[in-house]
A and B are shown apart, each in its own frame.
Chain A
């Protein structure tokens, strides 16, 4: 079983709409959780860390469900500039190694 699984999409989203997607992780002992954003032919960039109580950064909301071992990301009022691939990332154990999902591709349509 893969450490982190994501539905690659693409998720075609009308501008101004809300889009949400999840990823699941296999290691129940995972300790840190992140969403990264990756634009085409660019490096991944940290979008936000995900905390147990859930957290929000502007139009972006992240949730963690430890019982079901999934993480979610919701984007409200989608902008054209939100078009990117969103990587779900988990730190599975006690060291610094991260496990990456393959990403959710989001395409915001005018």
Chain B
């Protein structure tokens, strides 16, 4: 158990509304990630962070922003949710030593209507 929690676990929201998902970790890992998982696509990286206030884009970052003001929290914001952002969102941390395996939170199931 890597001590990762995500909130909310489930959310239904309307198109055009802002949504923020939270990832919280208890073990002071430097690297944190946000993924989305959709049928037929597997896990795709949205954004990642390599320290407080240090973030970078992944392969599917359009329409998403992130913030990391504390080591333990990594926030993912959908500025104006669209139906194409209906997905399951996973947060992950990676260990700081080779082979840098990642551990995942339980996921947030987001539905945009």
- Confirm or deny: B45 has a beta carbon within 8 angstroms of a beta carbon on chain A: yes
Closest Cβ of chain A: how far from B91's Cβ, in Å? 9
Q: Which of B40, B90, B104 contacts A102 (CB 8 A)?
A: B40
Which partner residue on chain A sits nearest B44 by CB separation? A100
Q: State the majority secondary structure of interface residues on B.
A: strand
Assess the A101–B107 pair: CB atoms within 8 A. Answer: no
Instruction: Sort chain A's interface into a size bin.
Output: 10 to 19
In the bound assembly, the distance between CA atoms of A45 and B107 in angstroms comes to: 12
Q: Which of B40, B41, B94, B106 contacts A43 (CB 8 A)?
A: B106
- Confirm or deny: A31 has a beta carbon within 8 angstroms of a beta carbon on chain B: yes
In the bound assembly, the distance between CA atoms of A42 and B108 in angstroms comes to: 10
Which A-B residue pairs are the 4 nearest by beta carbons?
A32-B99, A43-B104, A102-B42, A100-B43
Assess the A100–B42 pair: CB atoms within 8 A. Answer: yes
In the bound assembly, the distance between CA atoms of A46 and B94 in angstroms comes to: 12
